[in-house]
Amino acid sequence: MLDELMGYGDRDKGPDTAILTLLFLFFSLLFISSSGSLEASQTQEEVATSGVIPDVALGTFRVACCVLVVFTLSWVALDPKGSGDYPLYFKEREIRPRKVVGPTRLAAFTMWHFALMGVSYGVSGAATWIHASGGTVPDWILVSSPILFSTSYTCAILVTCVISFHIIGDNLSKGQRVDHLFTWYEIVMHNANVALLGTSLLLNEMDVEWEFLAFPAVFGIAYVAWAAIYANFISGVFIYDFMDYRKRGAPLIYLALLSMQTCFFLVVMALDRVADWSFPMATLLVLAMTWRITTVKDPSQG
């Protein structure tokens, strides 16, 4: 069934995929505009402080996470050795190995979501240090911080699950190497992402509100648009073969990915509610989920 969906039919599904994606975007933006999520804000104490650790420790943790993101993405973009991968070539419609070097390596959704994490930690870290110094946190930070955090965590769970439960196995089944997925920076972006954000959920006083539901989907759709531009006008490849909007099953695949974003948001919201009720229980659930979805060892090496 999956092979059928991943193949090409008599007619390219580009128009169908575009219509479905635009409809999803329209209803997501409609939901955001009617929910009031961009107007209401949480309190300075909720955004900037923690009920578990002191402000200085929280601020240091958030800034350190932001620095880690900047360092990791800089390494990816500037490493002269580059890396190999197996993209789908747009014109040829076939998967081939390639060597990629330079800032173009930042085109993958992995790097996009990790950059979003960095923005989230930078904004929330600024809130903590402003509060700790006796200042007043600006309203835009109070509004954006919870949205950025919940969207980042949602996207991180998606990235980690897709890598662990699809891409690694798919590459191995095709006889492709997967060692490029287990360099130190890939492990950080595919595994430390959910570990750090899970820790943040336990430390945060911020609430994950249902009104934030559509933001992860909008972020995903922004990447979908970028992937199309990248394949058509920049590199000539889809980094992820399942992102080719022309495939027979593309509309279903896109709908599934956007629906997964929504479902994973509900997971984040549920964990946040459990944390409000019982910190030990939330800690156990975050640890269990993080352990279950991460893959830190190359399975092809035993």
pLDDT of res. 3: 60
- Whether 151 is in a domain gets the answer yes
Q: Are 216 and 154 in contact (CB under 8 A)?
A: yes
Going residue by residue through the chain, which has 302 residues, state the pLDDT in tens, using 9 for 90 and above: 556 667 888 899 999 999 999 999 999 999 999 998 998 789 999 999 999 999 999 999 999 999 999 999 999 999 999 998 999 999 999 999 999 999 999 999 999 999 999 999 999 999 999 999 999 999 999 999 999 999 999 999 999 999 999 999 988 988 888 988 999 999 999 999 999 999 999 999 999 999 999 999 999 999 999 999 999 999 999 999 999 999 999 999 999 999 999 999 999 999 999 999 999 999 999 999 999 999 998 886 65
* Residue whose C-alpha is closest to residue 288's, from 260, 273, 302, 267: 267
- Whether 21 is in a domain gets the answer no
- Whether 299 is in a domain gets the answer no
- Structural domain of 176: 52-294
- Report pLDDT digits (tens) over 153-177: 999 999 999 999 999 998 898 888 8
- Whether 99 is in a domain gets the answer yes
- Whether 41 is in a domain gets the answer no
pLDDT of res. 287: 98
pTM, to two decimals: 0.95
- Whether 39 is in a domain gets the answer no
Instruction: Provide the residue type at 258 as one letter.
Output: L
- Whether 47 is in a domain gets the answer no
Reading phi first (left if > 0) and then psi (alpha if -120 to 50, else beta), residue 12 is in beta
- Whether 15 is in a domain gets the answer no
Domain count, the chain: 1
Query: What burial letters (b/e) apply to 43-69, b meaning 16+ CB within 10 Å?
Result: ebebbbbbeeeeeeebbebbbebbebb
